[in-house]
Amino acid sequence: MPRLRSLFTPLNFGRLILLGVLLFSAEQLDEMRPPWKSAWARHRAEGKEPTFNEHLSTGLWYGAAARVGLCGLLLVVSLGWGVKREPGSGTTFMLGKKTDPQLSPQVFGVVLGVIVLGALAMRLPRMDHSFWGDEAHAVGAYIHGNFRPVDKTQLDGPLFFEQPTWEQTFFSARHGANNHVVFSATSRLCLNLWQKITGQPHTAFTEWIIRLPVLIAGLGALITMALLLKRWGAPLPGLMTAAFLTMHPWHVRYGVEARGYAFMLLFVPAFLICLTNALEKNRWRDWLAVALMEFLIMYSWAGVMYALAMVNVAAAALMLMRRDRLPLLIRWLTANLLAAAVFVSLYLPHVPQIESARRRLLWLKGLPMDKVWFHNLLTQPFTGISYHEQYATNPHELSWERLLSQSPVLTGVGFVVLFGAFTLGFFVMWRRSKPVALVVTSVLSAAIICTLHFKYILEDELRPWYLIFTLPFLAMCVALGWLEAACFCARCVPQRWRNMTFANTMIALVLLMSASLWPANASLVSMAEENYKGAVAATIARHEPFSPDATSGVLTVWLWRFSALYDPRGESRARDLATVQPYMERALQTGKELYVIVGFRDLAQLKSADILAVLEDTARFERTATFHSRESLHSLDVYRMKRP
């Protein structure tokens, strides 16, 4: 009996679970039709778009196949789970110094609470802003659903509501890689709860309730980043990092935007806390926490894969330098394989849809990756603001070139202080803790790999915000630079003035940075990224309430920008005057109002000049409203056709 009881160990229980999952997945493969024998392959060969269910079946088959392989590999690795832990030199993540100003846990908690409350005050005004294009597509496709015309030839006629299933919330990717599943699932839960509590129909939505999980995750990201640096023995730089993130325009924007970036920013510091514990203590519970955090990070936003891969390379390098490397490497490999097994099972159904969307939307590849793109790519992660001014006619566009021309002293000093603090902090980090510096540098180097991958392999424009995974660590280096500068200033004065000098220097640096970034943050707080809601209020809502069962008395044509979430009856396929002319004739014949909403004006001038010529004819149309944006392609001009 003692021998029998010795078999029922936690490690053997884990092996049994893996064996069960492997056998179950193998049975699934046997029951499912392989993709190359399915309707999915046949439709692709015929040049037809496979249905969602066909994509889903294909992805689930590949997921089951990957699960078999990964579980088999895990069972092989499990042979080393019993390797005894050897005494090793350990890996110490200690970023703080004894000479740094010390903070009690109570002071740390109070100051962090004040920072979070300040961040909340900056973000609350953005909660009810109109969704912009990417947000609206994701909310309509994966969370709320859209109204659609009963008769596609009569867009102004009755509508029916098409709501996504929960399968689509988790597995759909019909618009490409824009279903950030953790966000989609949590926002849909919040929306459903709001509808039940308020008695609203399932067709109702409001922007703030869909953004609520993102707001919570964004504020939580400030807390986890501060706790990470506290875990690394640097609580004061942790608070300064959180303060910098609070006023960084990217965090102000994406800490509220209806996407998954805020969840990624929440989980990455938590992952590094777990990884730190695992490397220092090599306990199974810490490695399992690493696996959970890796899965949540990838399921929040798969674009973080570059950073996650590089952090694991850095962790492997740290383990290889230790005497107890074997048990560490076995547990590290186990954690990564576990995370991969769960993630690929759930995410592989997205992959055939993403590839299909990529082929279908080749014309949306974006702008050329030239030197202007590169300069903007360098400045945006640091400041959230592009360097080059692109559209001088847009009074709301933000760029360092424009800010330098308007306020050269404040902007220039702030710019120099920011980059100087980052450079100083980066070298200070390497001097203080090689393990911390290696991990942080691996994240920053992932941005280079990501950029090269997009430019030379994908040949698709890398949008600057795809590098948002670098933001917490850029902020950390800036905070270390501020700390070093304040300590230097304090050492330059007599002992009795040092504390006051240190505090005043820190306050001055924070205020200077806040002032330099205020134009961007003020714009973010006061202006929607793309005001579809305002455009609908200035057109359809001026004449009638929304009624899906009735025929509308207003015709709308959208040029180059459109959201079915806000205007399900809008015509979005107009590209030349021939497609707009029938609506003009119909409005004249029926007495209906006709509005044309123009977005991405530069593209419209290039591709739809004949439409713009008619719209600018004051005898036929009048411009009734303009909804500006910081990016000209998101500005919307509203034109109303005059009656004869």
Give how many domains the chain has, as a whole number.
3
Residue 573's SS3 state is coil
- Band of the pLDDT at 97, cuts 50, 70, 90? confident
Backbone angles phi, psi at 565, to 5 degrees: -60, -35
pLDDT of residue 287 exceeding 90, the answer is yes
The answer to the question of residue 281 being in a domain is yes
Q: Does pLDDT of 383 surpass 70? A: yes
Backbone torsions φ then ψ of 558, nearest 5 degrees: -110, 130
Q: Decide: helix, strand or coil at residue 554.
A: strand
Query: Does residue 411 belong to any structural domain of this protein?
Result: yes
* Same-domain status, 293 and 254: yes
- 491 and 540 belong to one structural domain: no
Residue 145 lies in a domain: no
In a domain, residue 166? The reply is: no
Report the C-alpha gap between 622 and 36 in whole angstroms: 56
Q: Token pair 């903070």 is at which residue?
A: 103
Contact 297, 264 (CB under 8 A): yes
The answer to whether residue 598 is domain-embedded is yes
Query: For 144-157, how does the pLDDT look when each residue is reduced to its tens digit (9 = 90+)?
Result: 999 999 998 899 99
Number of H helices, E strands in the chain: 26, 6
DSSP-assigned letter for residue 139: I
Q: Which residue has the tokens 């490690």?
A: 11
Angle CA 542–161–164, to nearest 5: 125
Which range is least confidently modeled, 39-43, 137-141, 471-475, 621-625?
Answer: 39-43
Are residue 252 and residue 314 in the same domain, yes or no? yes
The vertex-69 CA angle with 68 and 73, nearest 5°, equals: 115
Domain-terminating residue out of 492, 526, 560: 526
- In this structure, the answer to whether residues 458 and 583 fall within a common structural domain is no
Q: Are residues 437 and 479 in the same domain?
A: yes
For residues 424-452, give the mean pLDDT. 95
Take residue 422 and report the two structure tokens written for it. Answer: 């980052």
Tell me the residue type at 641: M
State the Cα–Cα distance between residues 550 and 277, nearest whole angstrom.
61
Let me know if residue 94 belongs to a domain.
no
Handedness of CA 400, 405, 406, 409 (dihedral sign): positive
- The whole-number average pLDDT for the span 556-575 is 94
Cβ pair 151, 159 in contact under 8 A:
no
pLDDT at position 4 is: 53
Q: Would you call 200 helix, strand, or coil by DSSP?
A: coil
**Residue at which a domain ends, from 79, 114, 142:** 79
Q: How many CB atoms lie within 10 A of CB 358?
A: 15
Do 516 and 548 have their domain in common?
no
Query: Residues with Cβ < 8 Å from 262, sequence gap 6 or more?
Result: 183, 214, 215, 217, 218, 221, 254, 255, 256
**Rg for the chain, CA atoms, rounded:** 27
Residue 196 lies in a domain: no
Query: Is the domain of 351 the same as that of 330?
Result: yes
Cα–Cα distance measured from residue 81 to residue 78, given in angstroms and rounded to the nearest whole number: 5
**Residue 364: pLDDT over 60:** no
Bridge-partner residues for 626, per DSSP?
Answer: 637
Contact 115, 51 (CB under 8 A): no
Give the pLDDT score at 363. Answer: 53
482 and 564 in a single domain? The answer is no
Q: CA dist 390 to 324, 376, 521, Å?
A: 55, 11, 20
- Report the half-sphere exposure of 393 (CA within 13 A, side-chain side): 5
**Bridge partners of residue 622, in order along the sequence:** 640
Distance CA(623)–CA(632), nearest Å, equals 17
Same domain flag for 521 and 374 = yes
Measured distance CA(318)–CA(88) in Å, rounded = 12
The pLDDT of residue 468: 96
Q: Are 215 and 127 in contact (CB under 8 A)?
A: yes
Residue 189 resides in a domain: no
Domain range for 238 is: 105-128+207-526
Of 576, 584, 583, the C-alpha closest to 560 is: 576
Instruction: Tell whether the model's pLDDT for residue 6 goes beyond 80.
Output: no
The answer on 556 and 478 residing in a single domain is no
Backbone angles phi, psi at 160, to 5 degrees: -120, 155
pLDDT for 58-89, tens place per residue? 999 999 999 999 999 999 999 988 777 666 56
* Cα separation, 363 vs 216, whole angstroms: 36
- Beta-carbon neighbour count of residue 513 at 10 Å? 21
Q: Pairing between strand 636-641 and 554-559?
A: unpaired
Distance CA 427, CA 370 (A): 30
Same domain, 440 and 539: no
Of 481, 500, 526, the last residue of a domain is: 526
Looking at the structure, tell me whether residues 486 and 604 fall in a common domain.
Answer: no
* Unique residue bearing structure tokens 């050329």: 368
So what's the pLDDT on residue 512?
87
* Alpha carbons within 13 A on the beta-carbon side of 291: 19
Poorest-confidence range of 113-122, 197-206, 496-505, 631-640?
496-505
Residue 30 to residue 591: CA distance in whole angstroms: 62
